[in-house]
Every structure is written in structure tokens, then in C-alpha cells.
Amino acid sequence: MEREAEIPSVATDKDEVDIDAVARDAAASIAAAPSSDALTHIETEVLGKRSVLAKAHRALGKLDPESRREVGRQLHEVRTSLEQQLAARRNELAAAERMIALAADRLDLTEVIPDQVRFPLSRGHLHPVTQARDELEDVFVGMGFEVAEGPEAESDWYNFEALNMPPAHPARGMYDTMYLDIGQPETVLLRTHTSPVQIHLMEEAVRNDSLPIHAVMPGKCFRLDTPDARHLPVFNQIEGLVVDRGITFGDLAGTIQVFTEAYFGPGMQSRLRPAYFPFTEPSAEFEITCTICRGEGCRTCSHTGWVELGGCGMVDPAVFTAVGIDFQVWSGFAFGFGIDRLALMRHEIPDIRSFLENDIRFLSEF
């Protein structure tokens, strides 16, 4: 410690310590301390065990009683005063250091970085399939439907049996099903269509005595398909269900026509062709005017002017019975179609896999 060398080593002898001078020197270095760290060092030097003051204090015992009292009093005064000065300087320095730290952390929120002005940051947007789903919901809500959802993992009962497909029913062959082994006693699978949500809604309405139902149910579906230009193993459907008194096939056809024009634009037509689904009777496939050629005939519609959108029909009495709804009192229709397919047709996208490739150049087109 260089500093110690400067301090008179004869501090043990009170006559050789000029207490006033020590106090003045100490006060000067306290006032000049450039930082809190420096002040901590100075404190040790002026008041610490090896300081001139401490040594002088230790030497008090060698003095005669009278001088001892006098010198002791002086030492005490000086110490108290230096302690006060240290505390005051410490506060000053801390405040100044805080200001410096704050200034360093300061963010200028009005700052304009020239490159960001020339190349604005892209904010991104919803995926085209999500956009289609949102628009579909809007159209159906505008027609008086509610939007509902159901689970993606289902039991065999919801996905098949309650929909009038008992075990070994041949229609099960339409659905290449992914089964889940999660230790449940019953068969659990990833739903192959959104139709099981119909069952949930009807069960709930029976439980709450809240019929009628007017709902659409969008969601993910899963089938063990190899991806190709028109198929994905994970895709989206939207299901519709109306259960009320006196619902007829005319209501179904009318609803689909109103939807077609509301979603695709005025002049777009819809038509129904006989089909088979286990959960509806009678069943139909619905087609709409080809969105690409507007009915003129093109490659997409195989020159028919029509493209198939989905399935529909009148709710089969067996389905009503499965959920405990009296089909003598209530009737209803249902429909379901693929949202990805719809977006594909609408944007004339040649390959459905583009939706899952996350290629920003493709996604930013929409």
C-alpha cells in the first residue's frame, strides 16, 4: 500500500499526529473522490484499522488521563465528521452514477432508422387457409349460424358409430384412420372428418334442452393419406348442422345456394347430385360453378363447368336416435366440405402441398 508509506509511521505518538491536518487531507480526498468505488477505498484509508486515526486512537492508552480525554474527544469529533462527509459524498456519487446508467439505457422511441423507412419491416399475415376459414365463418355467422368446435382426438363412437357407421360398416373404408394408443380402454383416433362435432352438439342440446341447433364447425381432420397434389394427411373441414322443427331438403338446397353466392360472389350457382353418406338420408354431393372458368368449361372442371365442393343431406333418423333426439319432432340437414380445397380452387393453386411448405414467397402472395 503506497499510500500508507506517506502516513507518518510514528502515529503511536500523539504529538506527531496533526489531527487537524489529517482531517483536512481526508476531507479533501473525500470531496475529490471520482466514483463510489474510489470512495470505498478512501473510506478504508481514512477510517480503517490501519488509518492514521485508528492508530492514534490505539495510542490513547499511553497518554496521561487529561490529554487522553482531550485527544479522544478530538479523534471522535473528526471521525464523526468524516463519516458524515463520506455519507454525503456517497449519496452524491450514487445519484450521478444512476443518471449516467439511465442515460446509457435510454431508448429513443422516435428514432428513425433510414433503412427501415426505405424497406419497411414486413408484418406478415394470416395463412391463406386461416383466411378462408375466417371468411367462411363470417359468411355463415351472417346467415345466422353459430360457430362451434370439437376435439381432434375422438372415440370410435363419435367419429363412426353415432354417425351410423357401426363396426365393420363398409363406409368406414372411405376413411383411412389414424389410431392413437394412449392407454384408454376405448378406441381413440384422430377424427377423419368434422362430422363427430355434430354428435357433440346434439348431445349437448339434449342435455341442456336447448334445441334447435344452427351451427358451423370448422377444424382439422386427419387421414392416413400419402400427400399428393390434391391430398394432405392433415386438412381442414367445415361442417354445418341445422336441427329444428319442419326442416326440409329445400332448406338445405337454399342454404347452400345462399352460401355459394355470399362466399363466391353473385351469379355463382350450386347444384346437388345424389350420393351416399351413412349419416344423412337422402344424401347429396354439392357442386358449384367452376371458380376458374365461371361455368364455361376448363381443365379444372373437366369441361363440365361444375366443381364438387362437399357432401350434405338430411340428418339420418339413426343419428338422431343415437343422441336421443325424437326424429318425429325434429328434422335437420348437415353439410361438410374441405377448407383447404376451397382455398385451392379460389386461388387457382395447382398443388395443395404448397400450403404446408412454409415457403415465404408462396405465402406472401395472399
Interface residues with ligand DAH (CB under 6 A) are 193, 195, 239, 277, 280, 310-313, 334-336
CA-based torsion, 272, 274, 279, 281: positive or negative? positive
R_g (Cα) of the chain, nearest Å:
43
Closest approach of ligand DAH to the CB of residue 340, in Å: 13
Nearer to ligand DAH, 55 or 193 (CB): 193
Nearer to ligand DAH, 92 or 225 (CB): 225
Closest approach of ligand DAH to the CB of residue 273, in Å: 13
Q: β-pairing, 306-315 with 280-289? A: antiparallel
Closest approach of ligand DAH to the CB of residue 105, in Å: 57
Nearer to ligand DAH, 23 or 132 (CB): 132
Nearer to ligand DAH, 211 or 292 (CB): 211
Write down the H helix ranges in the chain: 2-6, 19-32, 36-47, 52-58, 65-105, 114-118, 128-142, 156-159, 196-208, 249-264, 317-323, 339-347, 360-363
Closest approach of ligand DAH to the CB of residue 191, in Å: 10
Nearer to ligand DAH, 43 or 239 (CB): 239
Closest approach of ligand DAH to the CB of residue 257, in Å: 16
Closest approach of ligand DAH to the CB of residue 240, in Å: 7
Nearer to ligand DAH, 218 or 336 (CB): 336
Distance CA 290, CA 296 (A): 8
Nearer to ligand DAH, 25 or 308 (CB): 308
- β-sheet bridge partners, residue 219: 237
Write down how long the chain is.
366
Asked if 262 and 281 count as a contact pair (C-beta separation under 8 A), the reply is no
Asked if 46 and 82 count as a contact pair (C-beta separation under 8 A), the reply is yes
In Å, the largest CA–CA distance within the chain is 125
Nearer to ligand DAH, 53 or 319 (CB): 319
Q: Judge residue 350's burial from the number of C-beta atoms within 10 Å of its C-beta, 0-12 exposed, 13-18 middle, 19 or more buried.
A: exposed
- β-sheet bridge partners, residue 180: 188
Nearer to ligand DAH, 76 or 220 (CB): 220
Asked if 312 and 272 count as a contact pair (C-beta separation under 8 A), the reply is yes
Closest approach of ligand DAH to the CB of residue 217, in Å: 9
Cis preceding-peptide flag for 212 (omega within 30 of 0): yes
Closest by CA position to 313, among listed 338, 282, 274, 337: 282
Closest by CA position to 340, among listed 177, 182, 168, 218: 218
Closest approach of ligand DAH to the CB of residue 159, in Å: 10
Distance CA 144, CA 178 (A): 34
Closest approach of ligand DAH to the CB of residue 335, in Å: 5
